[in-house]
Amino acid sequence: MTGSVASREAVPRGSRRLLNRGLATVVVATGGLFAASLLFASSSVTKGTLLTMLPFASALAIASLGQTLVVMQGGIDLSVAGGLSLYVVIVTKYPAGDNARLWPAIGIAFLAAVGAGLLNGVLIGRLRLNPIVATLGTNALLFGGVLWYTSGIPTTTTARLARVGGGTWLGIPAPVYFAVAATALVTAVVKLTPPGRRFEGVGANETAALTAGVRVGRHRTSAYVWAQVLYCLAAVLHAGIVNQPTAYEGNNYLLPTVAAVVLGGTSLLGGRGNLVATALAALFLSQLDQFVLALGVTYATRQLVQAGALAVGVALYTVNWAAIARRLPVRRPASVRPT
Amino acid sequence: MRTKRGGALLALALTCGVAMVAATMSLATPSAAPPWCGPKKIKLGFTDGFGGNSWRLVTTASARAEAEKCPSVTSIDYADGQGNTQKAISDIQGMVAKGVDALVVFPDAGKAILPALRSAYKAGVVTVPYRVTPGGKAGVDYDVFIDTPFSQAGENWGKWILRVLPKGGNVLMLSGPKGNSQGVEENKGLHKILDPSGKYKFIGEQPFEVTNWDPALTQKVLSAAIAKYPKIDVIVSDFGPSLVGSLPEFNKSGRNVPSLATSDGNVLGCFWQKQHAKNPTFKLFTVSTQNDHARLAIDWAVALATDGKKPSTTHFPSLVFEDSTTGKPHPVECQPKLPGDIYLSAQLPAEVQAKLVKK
C-alpha cells in the first residue's frame, strides 16, 4: 500500500517530463560519447569496431527491454542471468552443430522462457512475493537447469545461427534489425494499444488500476513472461554472436540490463517506461565499453571508468538536482550580506 | 561377532574377486602393467577444484584411463569441487575418511587447499597435488607436487615466432584474468626468447590483454586491438579455442588473420583449415593443452602407494603439438565430424572424448 502511495505522488506530476528527460539525456550522452570516441579514441569508431560492438549492443538492448517491462511494474528481474544462460545453452547444445535442429531448439528455448516467466509472474503477481527474493530464487533454479543440462560444458554455435549473429544485412549487423524491430514492437504495444496502456497504468498506480477494474495480477505476471521472452530472443542472438558461448553467458547481462533501464530514465518505483531510451542506453553502455578499451588503459581503469559512468547516470535521475539548485542561491546572499 | 566375521568373509571374497578380475585383465592385455604400477593393492582418490568444462572432463577421463592401466588400483573415486573451495576441502577430507590410499588433487584454490592436503598427508595417504601450486613443501605438506613450467610454453611460442617472423614484428598477447600466474609465466618465457633480438614489440596491455578466457570479452578486446593497432603480426594466446569467434574480426576490418601461437583445440584446427587459404598470413602453432598432465600425477601417486617405480620427473613439459608451417610434430589437425571442444593433443582417443562432451 505504501508503495502505491509513493508512486501515486511520484508519477502523475513528473511522468511526462521524466519521459522526455530520460530520452533527451540518453540521446545527449550517447552523442557525447561518440563525439568523445572520435576525439580521444578514434579507433573505437572504426567500421570493424562498430561491427563488433553493435551486435552486442543489440542483444543487450533486447534484454534491457525485458528488464524495463518488469521495472515498469515496480519490480526487478534478477533471473535475467540464469534465464539468458539457459536459453543460450539450449540453442547451442540441443542442435549440437546440426542446422536442422536449430528451429526446434529455438522453440524449446522460448517455451522454457514462458515457463520461467510464468513462475516469476505467479510468485510475484499472484502470491505477492518480493520481486528480489522471488527472481533470485528463480535465477538459482534456472542456473540449476543450466548445470543439469550441460554440466557446465559449452557447445559451439550452429553454423546457421552464427551466420545470423555474426552476419551483416545491407552492411549493418543483422542483430541490429532484431533490436530495432523489438524496440518498435514493444513500444507500439505498450504505448498505442489498450492492453499496453492498462499495463502502464498498473505500474503507475496500482490502486487506481484496481479501482478501474483492471486485473492487476495478470498484468504484473505478463511483465515477467514478456521479459523472459525478450531475454530468450537476446540469448538466441548472443549465441550467434559469440561462437563458443560458455554456460554462464547470462552473468554478463545482469548489471548492464538494470543499468540500461536506469540510464534510460525509467523509475525504479514503476510507472511509465522509456523503452526507446532503454535501447539507446544499451548502445551507450556498449560503446562506453569499446571506448575505454580503445583508450588502451589497464583493465582496472576500465572497470573504474565504467562504474563511474554508471554512478553519474544514476545520479542524474535519483539526485534531486532542482532542490539542490534551489538551495544554492539562498546561501549565496547569506554569505554576501556581512560585507 | 558373527556379522563381523561375515563381513570379513565377504570382503575377502570381494578382494579375491577383484584380484581375479584384475589378473584376467592383465592376462588379457599382452602388455604387462606399467613400471609405475607396483604390487600393493590400493584405493585411489581424485579430486578436482572445478570440473565443469570440457577440458576438465577430458582431463578427468585421462586420469581414470591412466589409473585403469594398473591392476593394483582396486577402486577409483572422483569428486568435483564445483568451483567451491569449501566443497573442495571437504572432498579431500571425505576421501581420507573413505580410506583411500593415494589421492591426486587439482588444487584450484591454491593455498586455501594446503591444510586439507597436509592433514591427508599426515593421515598417511599418498598425496599428490598437480598443476596449480598449493604452496607448502613436498615431504612436509604432501608427497610430491607435479608442476608444469608455464614459461616453457612461452619459450616454445617465442622460438616459433623467431622462425616465422625473422624480421621482427608486433606481438599481441591475450590471457585470462588480470595477473593470473599462468599468463604471467608464459609472458616471461616469451620475453626471454624474443627480447635478445630487439626486433619484437609487445603491444596492448602488459604483460597481457585481460580476457578472463571469456569468448565474448575476447571478441571485444580483440576488435579494439585490431582498430587501435594497424599492424599486428602475431597473436599469442593461452586458450586458442576461445579465439575462434574473434579472429573473423580481422576480415571484418578488411585485414588478414595474422599468425597465431596458442594452445590446441579441435575447433581451432578446423577453423584454420577453413580460413588459411583466404588468409595467407594465418600461420598456426599450438602447444598441447596438457590434458595428460593428470596422467603424470596419477603415475606418481600410484607408484608411491603401490611401491612401483617412480617416474623420472615431477615436471610435465610443454609439448609442441601442431605447426602449420612445417607440419612437425603434427600438421594442423581437425576432426570435422566430432565436437569442437575436444583436444586432439590428448592421449585419450578423439571418439572417446566426443562421447564424454556430448553426454
Domain match, B174 and B122 both: no
Among candidate residues A103, A5, A101, A20, the one with its CA nearest the CA of residue A277? A20
B180 vs chain A: nearest CA distance in angstroms?
Answer: 13
Interior angle at CA B183, CA A155 and CA B187, nearest 5? 135
C-alpha dist (Å) from residue A265 to A66, A319, B181, B261: 15, 13, 43, 46
Domain assignment present for B61: yes
Q: What is the CATH number of the domain that holds B79?
A: 3.40.50.2300
Domain match, B300 and B226 both: no
- Rounded CA-CA distance B145/A141 in Å is 39
Number of compact structural domains in chain B:
2
Which DSSP string corresponds to B191-224?
HHHHGGG--EEEESSSS-EE-TT-HHHHHHHHHH
A26 vs chain B: nearest CA distance in angstroms?
Answer: 23
Question: What is the pLDDT, as a whole number, of residue B77?
Answer: 93
Strand B169-175 and strand B209-210: the pairing is parallel
Q: Which of B287, B308, B329 is the last residue of a domain?
A: B287
Q: Tell me which of A293, A298, A304, A306 to substitute to probe the interface with B (most B C-beta atoms closer than 10 Å).
A: A293
Domain match, B224 and B301 both: no
B24 vs chain A: nearest CA distance in angstroms?
Answer: 35
For residue B80, the surrounding DSSP H or E stretch is strand B73-80
ipTM of the complex: 0.76
Contact between chains at A242 and B216 (C-beta distance less than 8 A): yes
Report CA B178 to chain centroid distance, whole Å. Answer: 20
Report CA A77 to chain centroid distance, whole Å. Answer: 10
For residue A8, the surrounding DSSP H or E stretch is helix A2-40
C-alpha dist (Å) from residue A330 to A277, A333, A334, B67: 35, 6, 7, 81
Question: What is the pLDDT, as a whole number, of residue B1?
Answer: 40
- Rounded CA-CA distance A3/A171 in Å is 48
Question: What is the pLDDT, as a whole number, of residue A90?
Answer: 94
Domain match, B248 and B310 both: no
Domain match, B143 and B259 both: no
Domain assignment present for B341: no
Q: Which amino acid is at A192?
A: L
Domain assignment present for B28: no
Per run of 10 residues, the mean pLDDT along chain B (length 359 residues) is 48 49 42 88 92 84 95 93 88 94 92 94 96 92 94 95 95 89 92 95 92 85 89 93 85 89 93 92 94 96 95 94 93 90 92 84
Q: What domain range is B57 assigned to?
A: 34-148+290-318
Please tell me the pTM assigned to this model: 0.78
Taking the Cβ of residue B66 and every Cβ of chain A, the question of whether any pair is shorter than 8 Å is answered with no
Question: What is the pLDDT, as a whole number, of residue A99?
Answer: 87
Domain match, B143 and B154 both: no
Chain A residues within 8 A of B359 when measuring between CB atoms: 151
Domain assignment present for B327: no
Question: Count of alpha carbons within 13 Å of B271, Cβ hemisphere only?
Answer: 25
Question: What is the pLDDT, as a whole number, of residue A25?
Answer: 85
Per-residue pLDDT 10s for chain A (339 aa) are 344 444 444 444 444 544 467 888 889 889 999 999 999 888 888 888 888 899 999 999 999 999 999 999 999 999 999 999 999 999 998 988 788 899 999 999 999 999 999 999 999 988 989 999 999 999 999 999 998 888 777 788 888 898 888 888 998 999 999 999 999 999 999 999 999 999 988 888 888 888 888 888 899 999 999 999 999 999 999 999 988 888 888 988 998 999 899 888 888 888 888 899 999 999 999 999 889 888 888 888 888 887 887 788 778 777 777 888 888 765 555 545 544
Question: What is the pLDDT, as a whole number, of residue A330?
Answer: 58
Domains of chain A, CATH where assigned = 2-318 (1.10.3470)
Put the strands of the sheet holding B73-80 in their side by side order.
B73-80, B42-48, B102-106, B126-129
Chain A residues within 8 A of B216 when measuring between CB atoms: 56, 238, 241-242, 245, 249, 252
CB-based burial, B45-82: b 16+ in 10 Å, e otherwise: bbbbbbbbbbbbbbbbbbbbbbbebbbbbbebebbbbe
Domain match, B181 and B223 both: yes
Question: What is the pLDDT, as a whole number, of residue A12?
Answer: 44
Chain B residues within 8 A of A52 when measuring between CB atoms: 219-220, 223, 249, 252
Domain assignment present for B350: no
> Cell numbers 542442435 label which residue?
A95
Strand B284-287 and strand B320-323: the pairing is antiparallel
Q: In chain B, whose CA is at the least distance from the CA of A96?
A: B339
* Minimum-distance CB partner of A294 among B224, B242, B267: B224
Strand B102-106 and strand B126-129: the pairing is parallel
B354 vs chain A: nearest CA distance in angstroms?
Answer: 12
Domain assignment present for B357: no
Domain assignment present for B330: no
- Interface size between A and B, measured as CB pairs under 8 A: 109
Helix ranges, B210-324 (H): 215-228, 248-252, 266-275, 293-306
Domain match, B111 and B213 both: no
Domain match, B165 and B254 both: yes
Question: What is the pLDDT, as a whole number, of residue A185?
Answer: 96
Domain match, B93 and B155 both: no
Domain match, B301 and B228 both: no
Domain match, B241 and B258 both: yes
Q: In chain B, whose CA is at the least distance from the CA of A295?
A: B228
Q: Which three cell numbers stand for residue A47?
A: 567500421
Question: What is the pLDDT, as a whole number, of residue B56?
Answer: 87
Domain assignment present for B163: yes
Question: What is the pLDDT, as a whole number, of residue A177?
Answer: 96
